[in-house]
Amino acid sequence: MVAEAVLKKIKQKKLSNLYSMETLLNDFSVGLFVMQAVILLIIILLMRKFAWKPILNALDEREGGIANALKSAENAKLEMQNLQADNQRLLKEARAEREEMLKEARDMKNKIIEDAKTEASDTANKLVAQAQASIESEKKAAIADLKSQVANLSLEIAEKVVRTELSNKDKQLQLVETMLGEKSLN
Amino acid sequence: MVAKKSIKFIKFLVLFLVSFNGFAGGDKNPQGNTIDTPDEIREYISHHLKDSHDFHFFTDNASGTHYSFPLPVIVWTSEGLKTFMSSAFHHDDAGHVVVEKGGVKLTKIHSKIYELESGASSVSFDEDHHATNAHKVLDFSITKSVFGMLLAGLLMFLGFVALAKSYKKGPIPTGFGRVLEPLVIYVRDDIARPNIGDKKYRKFMGFLLTVFFFIWILNLLGLTPLGFNVTGQIAVTVCLAIFTAIIYLFSASKDFWAHTLWMPGVPVILRPILAVIELVGFVLIKPFSLLVRLFANMTAGHFVVMSLIALMITLKKDFGPIGSTGMSLVLALFISVIEILVAFLQAFIFTMLSSLFIGMAVEEHDHH
């Protein structure tokens, strides 16, 4: 009877103690703890030296490389854009220059034509003026000549007239009279 | 290249195990009956959850043959360090076999090695099944868990050193490295960087990466029929948590201590109380939460999977052999798939929380 009760008690205790604090503490093995600490420490040190450091460095390097490549690609793109803009600008400039040159040429042509025209007209004017001047002077000379001839002719006529008139005394007086009458004393 | 190497390694491992099988087989099981009652199953499961001194695959109960290989026992006794192979205990786990080694008598009770007091020749138990004339010794044996750790460490080392070497050939790894590299990047970019900060994470990567893969590999090893339960050993999780605590307490910034010990912005009377709460939180509660979470999750996982497998036996009476086997198979398969997820999840959570605590400790406040 007593033995049975004790057995039952043991059994119950065993069941409830399957994972009680007591079993937990009983299961804690100091030796295993020490072994684990030593092994873990060694593994950490070994892995750090031979695995993690080279792996992480390689990863960093690779990621740095990728980042750089992306950056330089971006830069190249920007440069390309700049280059294109430059080209565009150059083209524009060239076009403007051509325009300018064409305009200049056109202007020069016009100017030359203009100049030629003015020069020609100047020369013509000069020639006309010279001609006119010479015509004028010829005319003057002709008039002077005519005048002198008319004067000479008049003198000759007058001489002849006077000669004929002065041969008669009455007539001479009559002439004086008419002349005096004409030239009233005023 | 890497795959070839790992295949070679597995071949070596298999050869190693099989050769041990050879001369370890043949020991007679003293009990010699099959495990078919709930109590025996419970005993079996709780035995499995514990660490053990030999690598046990299975026992043919009909002939009483154990298929296992012994592991070295290294104990610190009153007479100094003693080493021998665990085969000396002849698979006894109840204190029946006493090994005499250089003047000390050693015996194994529930996966723990006891030293008999001088004069005693056999262990006597009190009514709670505690040994009365023997005490536990400091046990540095290469137990199954230590063996598992070494195996996990070796696998990790081989895998990641191969990955590290593959970078010498080109920027992109080949072979198995392609699988490992995203995991390393995952730990770095999704665990360490966001929690610790871009400037300081690098210093802690060695610890975080090692712990992450160590826990994960051990958790996965625990799901294999080899029956490791390393991350379900409380000593192992205590050790991991203490490592984390030491790292964050020793790398804590001045700001952290200033905030913890003399919290600005609260009434002066409250500050000492807050300091005590914060200190207890950082020194005890946070590491405790880490170690209990991992231990409890892994232990529970093993417990559930094994219990579901045991349904095959316990439900045989009610559902017949086919029904119980089918049910057990479906349920165990379902839970095993979940356990694969949990294996990763626990490694992730441990690393995540470690980096979170480290991040809290190294954070510098620039607002005052």
Q: Can you tell me which residue has the tokens 């690598």? A: B55
B231 within 8 A of B298, measured Cβ to Cβ: yes
User: What is the rounded average pLDDT of the residues B202-231?
Assistant: 90
Note the ipTM here. Answer: 0.81
* Helix (H/G/I), strand (E/B), else coil: B173: coil
Is the Cβ–Cβ distance between B69 and B142 less than 8 Å? no
Helix axes A169-182, A53-165, angle to 10 degrees: 140
Per-residue model confidence (pLDDT) at position A76: 95
Calpha distance B51→B111 (Å, rounded): 7
How many other C-beta atoms lie within 10 A of the C-beta of residue B109?
Answer: 19
pLDDT in tens, B89-104: 887 777 788 888 777 8
Per-residue pLDDT averaged across B159-181, rounded?
87
Q: What is the pLDDT of residue B285?
A: 92
Nearest Cβ partner of A32 from B235, B240, B243?
Answer: B235
Q: Is A180 on the interface with B (CB under 8 A)?
A: no
Alpha helices for B34-122 (secondary structure H): 38-49
Q: What rounded mean pLDDT belongs to chain B?
A: 82
| Average pLDDT, integer, range B148-163 | 92
The whole-number average pLDDT for the span B351-362 is 92
Nearest to B282, CA basis, from B239, B237, B244: B244
Q: Cα–Cα distance between B148 and B77 in angstroms, integer?
A: 25
Q: Provide the residue range defining the domain that includes A43.
A: 38-182
In a domain, residue A122? The reply is: yes
Domain boundaries, chain B: 2-141, 146-362
Of A13, A29, A47, the CB nearest to B139: A29
| Beta strands B112-116; B134-136: pairing state | antiparallel
The residue among B119 and B6 whose pLDDT is bigger is B119
Partners of A59 on chain B (C-beta within 8 Å) are 181, 184-185, 188
Contact B243 A40 (CB under 8 A): yes
**Of A62-71, B62-71, B171-180, B249-258, which range is least confident?**
B62-71
Residue-wise pLDDT for B38-49, tens only, equals 788 888 888 888
Average pLDDT estimate for B115-132: 77
How sure is the predictor about B5, in pLDDT bands with cuts at 50, 70 and 90?
low
pLDDT tens readout for residues A8-43: 555 555 544 455 666 677 778 888 888 889 999 999
Per the structure, how many domains does chain A have?
1
Cβ contacts (< 8 Å) between B239 and chain A: which residues?
A: 33, 36-37, 40
**Considering only B67-71, B188-192, B290-294, B300-304, which range has the smallest mean pLDDT?**
B67-71
Residues of chain A with pLDDT under 70: 1-23, 165-166, 184-186
Instruction: State the Cα–Cα distance between residues B36 and B40, nearest whole angstrom.
Output: 7
The CA distance from B362 to B289, in Å, is 20
Q: Does A91 touch chain B (CB under 8 A)?
A: no
